[in-house]
Structures are given as C-alpha cells and as structure tokens.
Structure 1
Amino acid sequence: MADVTTGSATPEDPRGNRPRGIVRLARAATSSLLATGISQLTLLVLLSTQATGAGMAAALAFVAGAVPNYLVARKWAWGRRGKPRVRGELLPYLAVIATGGLTAVGATKLGALLIAPLDLPHVARVLVLDAAYISSYALVFLMKFALLDRLVFAGAVRTRAATSQS
C-alpha cells in the first residue's frame, strides 16, 4: 500500500492518515486573523474618511480580506497547490465566505441603522460600526471553518491508494 498525497505538509494524525484537525484549525484561524486585520484596516479607513456608507465600506472591507485569506488558507491550512478547480473548490469557497461576508455587511448596516438616531460623534460611530463588523466575524468563524474543511478543501487530505504488486 502506498500513500498518495495532494501536497499537504501538515502533520499526520497518529490514528489515521488525515492531517490533524487542530493544526488546520490553528492555521485557518491565523489566516482568518490576518484577513480580519486587512478588513479592519480597510473598514476603518473607509468609515473614518466617510468615503462610503456603512454597508459599502463593510462590503469592500470583506473583499479586501477575503482574497488574501483564500490564498493563504488554501496553501497553508489545507495544503492545496496548483490551479484551483472552479466548480470543485473556488465556487464552493465563495459560497461559504459569502455567508460570512453578508453577515458582516448586515451587522454593520444594522448597527448603522440603530445608532443613526443617537447623533454620536464621528469617532464613536466608527467604533460602534467596527464592533458590529468584527463581532459578526467571530460568530461565524467556526461554521465557516467546518464548511471549508468538510466541503471545500476535503480533498486536500492524505488518502491511501491500493497498489498491486506483480
């Protein structure tokens, strides 16, 4: 029996041939934190400069973090290399993260609607909207990880293939 890999350098689980879930979770969390930092910076700049409304700022911030998150998480957390399959990987990934993005945009817009009558100073408004945006990310991270791990990048784990010996 020979091991066939898909390029994963992730440590193996001693009970089987799958990379350890805790390693993937830690790497995905690190990638997500990097993406969140990029999103946060984008959101704070857009809200502080009043370049866009809360919803558009959240949407642009989401995209600014989603692109590097995909590239880093795909390679580092799930060990994927090469060109991604559009239907098998890229489209499901977009569907999963779109849920998180819509949650972030919705939470930010809801926050803006709730604080609009309060006539808060600009700095306070930016901080409240930022808190709404970031809290939505915290709420959906584990759901997104599970879907990415079990649906989108499920083929990135090591598999065993039987070989015949002649």
Structure 2
Amino acid sequence: MASGRRPRLLVRLFRAATSSALATGISQVSLIGLLWWGATPMVASAVAFVAGAIPNYFLARRWAWGRRGTPTVTGELLPYLLVIGLAGLASVGLTTLAGRLTEPLDLSGFVRIVVLDAVFLTGYAIVFVMKFALLDRLVFHREERTRGSKSPT
C-alpha cells in the first residue's frame, strides 16, 4: 500500500473481518458473562455489542481503512454511529426475539445461553457484509475526511 492511500478492497474486507472477529470475541465474553449472571437477553446483547463496537472502531478505522488523524464528527463519526447503531439494533433485536421465543421452552441456563449466543453470532454474521459495504462506501470512502492527516501525494 502506498503511503497516504487506503488499502485495496479485498485487503480492507479481510482486515475489517479480522477486526470484527476480535470485536465479536470481546462481545462474546461480555454476552456470555452477562447472561450467566442473569442479565436479560436485551441488556446482555446491547452491552456486549457496545463492548465490541468501541475497540472495533479504532482498529478498523486505522488498520482496515488506513485512516489517520482526527475524525470529523459529521463526516465520519455520525455516519459510523448510524451504521453501527443499525447493526447493533439488528443483533440486539434478534437476540431479544430469541430470548422471548425460548422462554416458554424452559431451557436450562447453559442451553439457553448457547441458543442466545448462536442467535447473537448469526446476527453479527448477517449484518457484517452490509455493515462493511456501508462503512466502505459511506463512512470511510474519502481520504480527506480527517483533520490532521497528511494529504496523498
């Protein structure tokens, strides 16, 4: 990759998937721990999503999209929060729905956690491709969106 340029599409996709996998791992630990301690599926999945989304922003922004400098609020942060928020709502919604659907089945604690975790992961997988496309095309599509970054030569 030339200095000052963002990586090619397949490199961005691989790096975004890798940073997303790391974020998913953080989210998984949070989700399973919170469910184990008795949190509702909605609370557990919402906290787990945020726990993964914060480090994912910094890692993906720099590594996957090659962004440097201070992000602009309207050019990068707000669109990022919108895209991630929609992805989070999808994951939290699916996990909450699964929690409500499994409640009458009277599943044991461990089995219920496995089912809810599988739904949470499925939600992540479903929205990843759409999230990547939106981040790539709407949020991180131009290099001049950050303050303090060097201009491409």
Q: Structure 1 length normalisation: TM-score?
A: 0.83
Q: Which has the larger radius of gyration?
A: 1
Q: Which residues in structure 2 correspond to 1:57-68 (within 5 Å)?
A: 57-68=44-55
Equivalent residue in structure 1 for 2:31, among 22, 34, 43: 43
Contact 1:96 1:147 in 2 (8 A): yes
Ranges in structure 2 where 5+ consecutive residues have no aligned partner: 145-150
Report how many residues are paired.
146
What's 2:122 paired with? 135
| Distance in 2 of aligned mates of 1:29 and 1:140 | 12
What's 2:109 paired with? 122
Alignment pair present for 1:24 and 2:12? yes
**Identity across the alignment (%):** 58
In structure 2, the CA distance between the partners of 1:57 and 1:160, relative to structure 1 (3 Å rule), is closer
Ranges in structure 1 where 5+ consecutive residues have no aligned partner: 11-18, 162-166
Relative to total residues, which structure has the larger helix share, 1 or 2? 2
| Distance in 2 of aligned mates of 1:70 and 1:160 | 23
Runs of 4+ with deviation above 3 angstroms: none
Paired residue secondary structure (2:71) = coil
Paired residue secondary structure (1:94) = helix
Could you tell me how far 1:160 is from its partner in structure 2? Answer: 7.4
Q: Structure 2 length normalisation: TM-score?
A: 0.90
